[in-house]
Amino acid sequence: MANNALSGRKLTQLKMLESESIHIMREVVAEFRNPVMLYSIGKDSSVMLHLARKAFYPAPLPFALLHVDTGYKFPEMYTFRDNFVKEIGAELIVHRNEEAIAKGMNPKEFGVARCCGALKTAGLLEALEAGGYDAAFGGARRDEERSRAKERVFSIRDEFGQWDPKNQRPELWDIYNGRIHDGESVRVFPLSNWTEMDIWLYIRQEQIPIVPLYYAKERLMVERGAMLIPYYESMRDQLLEGEEPTMVMSRFRTLGCMPCTGAVRSNATTIDEIVIEAAAARRSERETRIIDHGSNSMEDKKKEGYF
Amino acid sequence: MTSTPFNFELNDEIELLRLVTVGSVDDGKSTLIGRLLVDTKGAFEDQLLAVTRKKGAASEAEVDLAMLTDGLAAEREQGITIDVAYRYFATPKRKFIMADCPGHEQYTRNMVTGASTANAAIILVDARNGVMPQTKRHAHILGLLHVQHVIVAVNKMDLVGYDQKVYDAIVAELRDFCGRQGVDDLICIPVSALKGDNVAQQSGAMAWYQGRTLLETLESLSSLDAIDTKPFRFPVQLVNRPQTPDLPDYRGFMGRIVSGAIAVGDAVVALPSGNRSTVKSIDSFDGALEEAFAPMSVALTLNDEIDISRGDMLVRADEPRPAGEREVEVDLCWIGDEPLTERKKYIVKQTTHSAKVMVSEIVYATDIHTLERVSTDALKMNDLGRVRLKLQRPMYYDSYRDNRATGSMILIDPFTNNTVGAAMVAGG
């Protein structure tokens, strides 16, 4: 009966991706002792969190959210984070590398790589160790960057949280091997097979709330080379000589730290307009992230423990 | 920025097709993938620019398309592809996930990995060299992994003067061979990845070829193995008991429907217990469902309190049941550093079920060069063979050809925790 009625029914590709991500999350919760979900407040995190709510419905999330805060996020991101987490009743852990922050770590004086290494990578490793987590979900996608194209869904990390790209476990079918030794942990990427376009289409389909910075608005910006860098009063001493903030109709394709995240000129004020813009984009979203511009930078960062 | 019109309605119909591409650098595989990415705009300008900058090339036309796809520093240094890479591209009709596998013999495990999830495969053949031993090996593995559609792209046609006779000879040899390897659907296309002939655009140089381009072919393949019409299989991932004030007694069985369909009221049987009940509700975040089908992830509640835990399977009472045995014969691809020998013990994971297994017999190994069956006492890394496994407790499985999800399993070394074997239940 039901069989015949349903024959030939198919899921759209977004529904297929959704089902795959939910399957991955449930496997982790079933097989790991103490998982946590990294939450960066960006669009990918927002999709990942939405999928987690679906995966465990009607129960509350069976893990906490972990925000590794550099202190340099946009004010809109902190506001959004606190409101949204409260609204859905999730547990949020915020971790900051206080030692580096106290030393005044910043990208201008110490360089982008060092600042990222201290505030993001070291901060993340500290937080994971402090929580004793054996599995951490991250929102990274394989289409973002070429070293990420070779990342597994279950990425095994040694005691130092490091990635060995030449020694990865083969992943066959959708059977995930979650067995690890004491001290090892796993980074899990439920959005591995999602593209930037899928993320936007899914946000549209599911009406997922996102930080307003993704929508175009007149904003104070500093032009640095080809990049548009958002300007806040707190950054006055980060300005280079001759730079003056001006109002620009713009939005963000990705959200990171204020000093290192560029905006793009855009008139896209609705999710439909963002999708249209993403469909026409000829340059990757990572282009607006200053950290990615070294020669092997993402691969190097991942080897050191970044997710 | 000029915005191209985006068709939201069309997009709601978009399906997913999973692909695997095999072949060596010399066959022009990376060039073909680079071509597909560029022609479908799956590669961005700054990614192209990053490659151009490094190579010292002056324009996109000079970009070595292969450089786009080799992701790791070691690969670019050595000029080889080490690991499976996943690529994404889309046309207005379809989204593609492509597992790009290195073609070297020692990396057979990568190909098995990439092929395990694929609905379709592209094998590259260099028109100048014709069918090579590795081409046959690839076709054999694709048959073993039951990849539904196999597309042979006869590449570098520009280097053989776009000669139909060269192409026809290769196709005739492959059709004969693939027919014997259990490949159901073989499609051959003459292409030049470098020049773009028959990749996204019809070639002007091969009027004798009237068939579809590679991209048109990919858009027209049937994408799913009609898994919703097979018997219902629901491996339980988790039992959800929130025990919150508003849900004190909720007991939901979470999992992914790996095949078939289920509706509220259907009679189900839990395996291994054999206990019966009926479906009370199919729950989802978006509201309760009346029915659900593969490959949806759902939560089921039942009308009776029966004992069910992770690793158990729910099936429908009115459909054929999977075999529940303490022994299973499998086709095995060995991917472990340490060889497999008789009497060795491993951990098997099949769907959500894990158990101890022992190798009771190596029935035969397949000689990777001649594809003949030979007797052996060990399977080494990248060897293929037929093996009998003895299970600690009964496992519920279908043959791999009948059901990819319940007929597949991985073997795990209990000491290293590494995944060492890919196994497919024989028969069917």
What ipTM is given for this predicted complex? 0.91
3 state DSSP class of B298: strand
Residue among A58, A175, A296 whose CB faces B408 most closely: A175
Ordered alpha helix ranges (H), chain A = 2-6, 13-31, 43-56, 75-88, 98-102, 107-110, 112-116, 123-131, 196-206, 271-280, 297-304
∠ CA B48-B4-A252, rounded to 5°: 65
Question: Is pLDDT larger for residue A41 or for residue B246?
Answer: A41
Distances (CA, A) of B304 to A172, B238, B245, B267, B278: 35, 18, 22, 11, 7
Lookup result for tokens 């192409």: B167
Q: Do A6 and B291 touch (CB under 8 A)?
A: yes
User: The domain A12-198+296-304 belongs to what CATH superfamily?
Assistant: HUPs (3.40.50.620)
- Specify the pLDDT at position B279: 98
∠ CA B212-B215-B221, rounded to 5°: 75
Window from A242-246, A247-251, B181-185 with minimum mean pLDDT: B181-185
The residue ranges of DSSP E strands in B164-225, in sequence order, are 185-190
| Distance from the B117 Cα atom to the nearest Cα atom in chain A, whole angstroms | 5
Distance between first and last Cα of chain A = 47
Nearest Cα to A14, choosing from A290, A213, A203, A237? A203
Q: Which residues of B touch A8 (CB under 8 A)?
A: 226, 228-229
Question: A292 pLDDT exceeds 70?
Answer: no
Tally of CB atoms within 10 A around B83: 24
Question: Is pLDDT larger for residue A108 or for residue B357?
Answer: B357
d(CA A214, CA A198): 16
Ordered alpha helix ranges (H), B180-226 = 214-220
∠ CA A152-A154-A159, rounded to 5°: 110
- Sorted by where each starts, the structural domains of chain B and their CATH numbers stand as 12-220 (3.40.50.300), 228-316 (2.40.30.10), 323-425 (2.40.30.10)
Q: Is A296 on the interface with B (CB under 8 A)?
A: yes
B75 phi, psi to nearest 5 deg: -70, -40
Q: Do A7 and B6 touch (CB under 8 A)?
A: no
Q: Which two tokens stand for residue B47?
A: 């990614």
Type of residue found at A263: A
Nearest Cα to B192, choosing from B158, B152, B161, B166? B158
Distances (CA, A) of A88 to A14, A43, A92: 23, 17, 11
What residues pair up with B76 in beta bridges, in sequence order? none
CA atoms within 13 A on the CB side of B409: 30
Q: Are A144 and A189 in contact (CB under 8 A)?
A: no
Window from A8-17, A232-241, B173-182, B286-295 with minimum mean pLDDT: A232-241
Question: Is pLDDT larger for residue A147 or for residue A268?
Answer: A268
d(CA B14, CA B44): 22
Mean pLDDT score of chain A: 87
Q: Which two tokens stand for residue A105?
A: 């770590």
CB pairs under 8 A between A and B: 216
pLDDT tens, position by position, A153-162? 999 888 777 7
Q: Which residues of A touch B412 (CB under 8 A)?
A: 177, 179
Q: Are B202 and B213 in contact (CB under 8 A)?
A: yes
**A139-146: average pLDDT:** 86
Identify the DSSP state of A212.
G
Window from A100-114, A185-199, A212-226, B146-160 with minimum mean pLDDT: A100-114
CA pseudo-torsion sign A79, A84, A86, A87 = positive
3 state DSSP class of A224: strand
B316 phi, psi to nearest 5 deg: -85, 140
Q: Do B87 and A8 touch (CB under 8 A)?
A: no
Residue ranges per domain, chain A? 12-198+296-304, 213-292
∠ CA A284-A190-A173, rounded to 5°: 110
Element (H, E) at B173: helix B164-179
- Specify the pLDDT at position A289: 63
Q: Is A86 on the interface with B (CB under 8 A)?
A: no
- Specify the pLDDT at position B228: 84
Per residue in B298-309, is it b (16+ CB within 10 Å) or e — as a string?
A: bbbbbeeeeebe
Give the neighbor-by-neighbor strand order of the sheet with A264-265: A227-230, A217-224, A246-251, A264-265
∠ CA A195-A196-A201, rounded to 5°: 95
- Specify the pLDDT at position B50: 57
Residue among B3, B261, B417 whose CB faces A179 most closely: B417
- Specify the pLDDT at position B103: 65
Nearest Cα to B294, choosing from B260, B341, B330, B345? B260
Q: Which residues of A touch B254 (CB under 8 A)?
A: 26, 55-56
Q: Do A180 and B417 touch (CB under 8 A)?
A: yes
Distances (CA, A) of A260 to A3, A103, A215, B3: 54, 19, 19, 27
Q: Do B44 and A283 touch (CB under 8 A)?
A: yes
Q: Are A97 and A126 in contact (CB under 8 A)?
A: yes
pLDDT by residue, tens only, chain B of 428 residues? 344 567 777 777 788 899 999 876 677 787 888 888 877 766 665 665 555 444 444 444 444 555 565 556 666 566 556 678 888 888 888 889 999 887 665 567 888 889 999 999 999 999 999 988 888 888 888 999 999 899 999 999 999 999 999 999 999 999 888 877 777 789 999 999 888 899 988 988 999 999 999 999 999 988 666 788 899 999 999 999 988 888 888 999 999 999 999 999 999 999 999 999 999 999 999 999 999 999 999 999 999 999 999 999 999 999 999 989 999 999 999 999 999 999 999 999 999 999 999 999 999 999 877 889 999 999 999 899 999 999 998 999 999 999 999 999 999 999 999 999 999 999 87
Q: Which residues of B touch A195 (CB under 8 A)?
A: 88, 90, 95
Residue among A9, A193, A277 whose CB faces B97 most closely: A193
- Specify the pLDDT at position B411: 97
Q: Do B238 and A26 touch (CB under 8 A)?
A: yes
- Specify the pLDDT at position B116: 94
Q: Is A17 on the interface with B (CB under 8 A)?
A: yes
CA pseudo-torsion sign A58, A63, A68, A69 = positive
